[in-house]
Every structure is written in C-alpha cells, then in structure tokens.
Amino acid sequence: MRIILFLLIFISTLNFAQDKTPVKRDPYLQAPSPAQPKQVRPEDKVKIIHADEIKKDPEKYDGNQYFTGHVQIEHQGSILTADEVVLYNEENFVKAIGNTRLQNTDGSVITAGEMEYDANTQKGVARKNVVLTDPKQTIKTDILYYDRLANQAYFNTGGTISDGQNVTYAKVGTYFLNTRVVDLTGNVKIETPQYIIDGPNIKQNQNTKIADFNGPTTITSKTNPRNRIYTERGTYKMDSKEAYLTKNSRIFYNEKILTGDDMYYNQISGFGKATGNVTLDDPKERRYIKGGYGEIFEKKDSAMMTKNPYAVKVMEKDSIYFAAEKIISYQRPDSLDIKVKKSYLRAFKKARIYKSNAQGRADSIAFNETDGIMHMYTSPILWSGEKQVTGDKVEAYFNTKTEDIDSLKVIGNAFAISKVDSLNLKDEFNQVKGKFMTVYYEKNDIKEARVVGNAQSIVYVDDTDQETKKPERIGITLSTCGIIGALFEERALQIISCSIGANSDTYPMSKIEPARRKFPDFNWNTKDRIRKWQDILVDSPNNEEIQYTADSELFDKAQKAIDDEKAKEEAKKPKRTRK
C-alpha cells in the first residue's frame, strides 16, 4: 500500500522555457512562504517519456506550457499517464488532467480525474472519482490528500475501503502507510458478510485485521439484528470475530444483555465473559443476575455467574432474590413442544433465597422459572413468618399468574415448626413431623400441612375462658399417626385429622416435663434467618441468637409437690437401726 507515498513523485527538470506565472494551487499545497522556489537536484526531476504534443496557449493554464495526447512521465520507477500534464518547472509543481493513472513499482495504482503534486513539500492531491488499489484493498473517494514525508494519506469528503470481503465507509480517513493503519472518523460503517460495525472513530490495521473503537460503537448481526455488541472503547479482530471491550460495554444476545467493566466475546463460538460489576439482564424473564465474573454461551443459551453473585426475579407484587457461590441460568425446549423454551435458574453451594413471605437456605436451589417450581437440595430450611420448614428436600410451587407460593412438598425427614405466640419470647413451639409433608399456603402464609409416614406432632392447646374471654392454656397434645392433617392458625396449630394407628394424648402443663415439649431433632434457627433481601449477600447474616424463656412453673410446682409428698411418705416409714 505504499502507493500513496509514491503518488506523483515524478518531478524532474525540463529544458523547456516557461513563463513565471505562479501556479494556482489547492489550499493543501500552498507554499509555506513566498521565498524563492527550492532548488531541485537534476536527479529528482521527472522524465518525460512520451507526449503527442507540446503546447502553449495564453488563454489556458495561465500561459504555461503543457503536454497533451497519451502523456507519460516517470519518476523513480513510478509511471503517470494522463490526457494532459502541466509542468511548472520553476516551482517544481505538476498538474495532471483527464484519465490520470499512477502506476507504482509495488503494483499499486491510483486513478483520478486530476492530480496535483508539489515536489518541494512532497505533498499531493488527487481529485474526482479517486480510486486507490493495491493487492489487498481498494480505496475510493472524491479527494485524496497525501504527504510523502509524513507517510500519510487523508480524505475528508467521504470514502470507502474494500478488501474483497469487507467494505468500510467513513466521512474522514487517515491512512498511515508505515503501519498500514487507517484512522476513520465521522459516521464510520464497516460492513462484513455477517456483521455491520458503526461508530464515530474506528482504527483499522490492514496487516493484522484488528479494529480499535473509540466512542459509541455497535457490531450488529445481519441475520439477527437483535444480537449486537455495544462499546465505547474496545478492540475487534475482524478475522476471528473476537471483541475485547473495556468501557460501558454491552453484549445483546438471545434477548439478553451482558454488561461488565471488561468483556470478551467470540461471535463465532458464541462464548463471552465479563469481569467487574457484571450484570446479565433477561428482560423477557424479568430477571437479572449480578456478580464479579460471568460467562455466557450463546449457542447453548446458558450463562454462569460467580464472585458473590445474586439474581433477582422481578415480579409486579413481590420479587424473588437468589444468592450462592455460583448461579447458572439456561433455557431448554419444552419436552411437549420443542418450539417453546423454558427458563431455569440454579444456585450452587450455600444457596439463599428471599421473598417477602418466604426465605430459605440450602446447599443448592434449582428454579424452573417458566413453570414456577423450585427445588431445594441438601439441608434445606424455609421460613415463612414465624414458621419454619426443614427436610431432606423441599419443593416449592409458585402460581405463575399471581406470583404467590401455592404449596410446598417436603421429602424426607419433614419437620414444620411454628412459634405459638410471635409477640413473646416464651419457649413454646408447635411442631409436626414425618417422612413426607405437603404444606399449603393461603394469602401468602402457611395455612395447612399434611404429613404422611410416622407422623408426629406436639401442639400447645388453648381454650377460651368463659368469664374473661381470654385464651387459657389447657396443655400440650402429643400425637402419633400414620397421617396427620394440621391447620396453622394465627396463634395455634390445630390437628384436624390423625389417622392410621392414631394415638393422641393431651397433658396439662403440670404433667409434661420440658424435655417432652420438643422433638429431639428440634432445630429452630434464628442465627441464619434471612429477614431482608440484603441478608442473602453474605453466607449468613449471623444474627444474634434469640434467647427464649422456658415456662415450666406449673410443672416445677407440681413436681415439687410430688417430691414433697414422697418425702413425707418416706419420713413415715420406720427407720431400721443396726444393733
């Protein structure tokens, strides 16, 4: 592409006398001072190889001598042909008019309607349908300025650059011949077979096929214009279709948006990654994921986020928040209709979830966003109000229309606990447990539970005093059944059914010792309880453990009376004395 360096470097000494009328130059070629023309060495003058005629007309070219008819001149191996050539020998300046063509020794060619060149400053101008071609590309513009000393060519009236595959359009372009870098500004557009690149300033390296972006730039897919890249500073490898983005960047793919401080994306493989303040937004699912590092896999329609990630499922009434060491989102075709895609979210290791009426923890959480089904694996614990549910596995079912939890299924070692009275700190908890449990919600609160398999319950029983109309504690009911149906009320747990091997006994508070008021695996957890969505951002909020007060006054009083009675009876017995 050294053609521009040699453009019209063909001035040589002529032995034809000319008048000294100053040449009318392009403003770009104005002489720096009115000093005398620079003396040019004879070997730097051009050679006239051929011309049909030599003419001089006072009415034409300010009376300067000119050549016509198949004019051909040469300078250091470069050949210029034109219909007419005017030589200003005193100023070492030349004008070529009509079908001008410059053939350079490196094989590059410039054609134009006319050309000017100042051999003293080694600057030139080509005008009117300028076409520069070399073995790798073609540049087209109306006016091309070039500077041999600076090794630069420049246009500012709009131009195109084509390499056989890609076509570049720009208002202004500067070509650095040594480095083969084109600096383009003003509504730059690069069109490739697959993509269109738009931006205010793009630098292309013709050797490496690498483009650098400065300012708001987009790379848009032709087949799917929604898939695109936006950046305000970045680098793009034209051959491998790899983008490196470093400022205010976004990757749009499959109706999702990935942002981050530093980003990479391969348009061929569909793999992308981002670091620092990463966000993956899915407007269709109304869900976004944030973290310190993220990866996307466009062809698999999946993504992964790490470094303190959390996800927010935005809902009109009540959003859901997820957090874990790693969060994965993906889409898969519906097994019943492959045209329908279902969205899934998975949180691995120390997973947490927050919803205003349900908060939970587990080693991992899998959420089917489309169907509204959430699975909690390995030591799951779910809180709802002052109620807690644990088990080997918990499944939560959401109503996708109302966005509320409809029910829970607890599989293996199911255990539900509810505080008898949330307004006090008495150590009183209703409990129901068994192998399997189904929990039903009503108005965003746990309302009913059905326990199957080795079902057991511990329930505090109250009655209303007829005189004071206030609740009065009757005692505690211990039940064992094959199946238990329990109804959670505001301050009570009512056993509404107990079938298959039912055994139920109610003990007054004076007759049941504190140890029997809780199951051996009782695990009410206040330290790890998530009470606001920000609590999911840490492994555990590490709340101060709530200290509850045991109410065993009646039992202790009754036990003391029994002990005292035993002591009296023991005192009445005759004492043996050894003789």
Domain-wise residue ranges, the chain: 43-157, 248-378, 387-530+554-568
Contact between 220 and 192 (Cβ < 8 Å): no
CATH dotted code for 387-530+554-568: 2.60.450
pLDDT exceeds cutoff 50 at 12: no
pLDDT exceeds cutoff 70 at 34: no
Nearest Cα neighbor of 409 from 451, 369, 368 is 451
Confidence of residue 46 (pLDDT cuts 50, 70, 90): low
Lowest pLDDT segment from 90-104, 208-222, 299-313, 386-400: 90-104
**Residues 209-224, mean pLDDT to the nearest whole number:** 92
Confidence of residue 566 (pLDDT cuts 50, 70, 90): confident
Confidence of residue 99 (pLDDT cuts 50, 70, 90): very high
- Predicted confidence at residue 402, as pLDDT, reads 79
Lowest pLDDT segment from 119-133, 267-281, 288-302: 119-133
Please check whether the two domains, 43-157 and 387-530+554-568, share a CATH topology.
yes
User: By CB neighbour count within 10 A (0-12 exposed, 13-18 middle, 19+ buried), where does 55 fall?
Assistant: middle
CATH dotted code for 248-378: 2.60.450.10
Say which amino acid occupies 7.
L
Residues 156-194 pLDDT 10s = 999 999 888 889 999 999 988 778 889 999 889 999 889
Contact between 245 and 230 (Cβ < 8 Å): no
**Residues 453-466, mean pLDDT to the nearest whole number:** 86
pLDDT, averaged across the chain: 85
What are the b/e assignments for 199-208, b being 16+ CB within 10 Å?
A: bbbbbbebee
Q: Which is it for the CA torsion 275, 279, 281, 287, positive or negative?
A: positive
Confidence of residue 495 (pLDDT cuts 50, 70, 90): confident
CA distance 333 to 335: 6
- Predicted confidence at residue 60, as pLDDT, reads 83
Residues 310-364 pLDDT 10s = 999 988 778 899 999 999 999 988 877 877 888 999 999 999 999 988 999 999 9
Of residues 77 and 7, more confidence is placed in 77
Residues 296-315 pLDDT 10s = 999 999 999 999 999 999 88
Please state, for a pLDDT cut of 70, what percent of the chain lies above it: 92
The reported pTM is 0.81
Please state, for a pLDDT cut of 90, what percent of the chain lies above it: 45
Lowest pLDDT segment from 64-68, 279-283, 477-481, 517-521: 64-68
Contact between 361 and 530 (Cβ < 8 Å): yes
Instruction: At 30, list the tokens.
Output: 């104005």
pLDDT exceeds cutoff 70 at 218: yes
Residues 405-457 pLDDT 10s = 889 999 999 999 988 888 888 888 999 999 999 998 887 788 888 999 989 99
CA distance 243 to 240: 9
Q: Are strands 358-368 and 373-377 parallel, antiparallel or unpaired?
A: antiparallel
- Predicted confidence at residue 35, as pLDDT, reads 47
CATH topology of domain 43-157: lipopolysaccharide transport protein A fold (2.60.450)
CA distance 285 to 343: 8
Contacts of residue 219, defined as CB under 8 A and 6 or more positions apart, other chains included, come to 195, 196, 197, 228, 229, 236, 243, 267
Beta pairing partners, 330: 302, 344
**Residues 275-303, mean pLDDT to the nearest whole number:** 94
Q: How big is the chain, counted in residues?
A: 579
Which residue has tokens 């199951």? 519
